Amino acid sequence: MVQRWCVTVVLAGLLLAGTAVTHGQTPAPATAPTEEELALKPPPTFGQRIGEVWTWFKIKWQLGGATMWFIGFAGLLAVASAIDRGISLRRSRIVPKGLATEANNLWQQGQYEQVMQLAESSDSTLGRVVAFIVEHRNNPYDLINKAAEDIAAQAAVGTADYIIAHRIPHFAAFALRWLPAPIAARLLMRSIERHAWTFVGAGAFTVTGPWNFTIDRSQAGDRTAPPDTLFRWYAAVFARLYSRLVRANSSCTGAAPDPRYPLRWHYRIAPVTAGAARVRALPPERGAIRQSPAPKSAAPRPPVSASPPASRVPS
């Protein structure tokens, strides 16, 4: 955010400086040049062409009036946002090139200290994941599972807050907070359904109402079955989004009631009340399912067979 506003201020300063330089300059009345003058006139230089373009831009700006200031400011915000995303989301900050291969080679050789140093020196998202794996490689499975759930809960809060801050327009978030909860929930769920492929991928995201949905990864083609932590992370993200945008203290509970389909979780969003029992998410009605389309870039799903998927044996 700081980088974005710094870039915006710099671009606005350059725009205003250029406007101030040419402000008040009235061009001399133009007269039609003769053929001799055109023949003797040298071709315009690069600087002269830039000046002509700037003069043309000034004329259009003055013709546009006050509307051009709004368009110019919106353009500055768009350019600043693009520059900020290019800086903060560059590949070296997320997945540095060669880090996974080098870390894997060191891991195979048993050089865990070198893997930890490599991960910490990368200062990236992948580096923090590798460092966590190395640090907890000798811990019992139950302890690792509990730590993974805690990390998933914290990551869900951070993910929801990031979506609200950077992916939802501020006016839309303001409107959702002031609209009645049933209307706000319906609008938010419809928006999430349109962008479901960003977090479900080739899986299926079905909506059965503003407070109920289903996530099915049985036909997603995952090489390894995702753990239950991922599905709890989904619930925590939705709970955070609804708590901040629709209704305070909202909870989201999910479960896979059919043991034949352990990767098909049904969720329900409800307010948190003191002493209330956890609400079990039931499968939706067959006619109430509305499935969001997968993007063209998603991997094709295998044909649905009559037998349940054997991607994971339910525990």
Alpha helices in the chain (DSSP H): 2-22, 35-40, 46-64, 66-88, 91-94, 99-108, 112-122, 125-135, 141-162, 170-178, 181-194, 197-200, 228-245
Fold classification of 149-291 is Muramoyl-pentapeptide Carboxypeptidase; domain 2 (3.30.1380)
**Amino acid found at 184:** A
- The pTM of this model reads 0.50
Mean pLDDT for the chain overall: 75
> Model confidence at 72, in pLDDT bands (50, 70, 90)?
confident
pLDDT in tens, 18-62: 555 445 554 555 555 566 666 666 777 877 788 888 888 888 888
Sign of the alpha-carbon torsion through 296, 299, 304, 309: negative
**Rounded alpha-carbon distances, angstroms, from residue 151 to 39, 127, 177, 186, 313:** 75, 16, 28, 29, 25
Residue 128 has pLDDT above 90, yes or no: no
* Residue pLDDT, tens place only, 234-292: 999 999 999 999 998 899 999 988 888 888 999 999 886 544 444 333 444 444 434 44
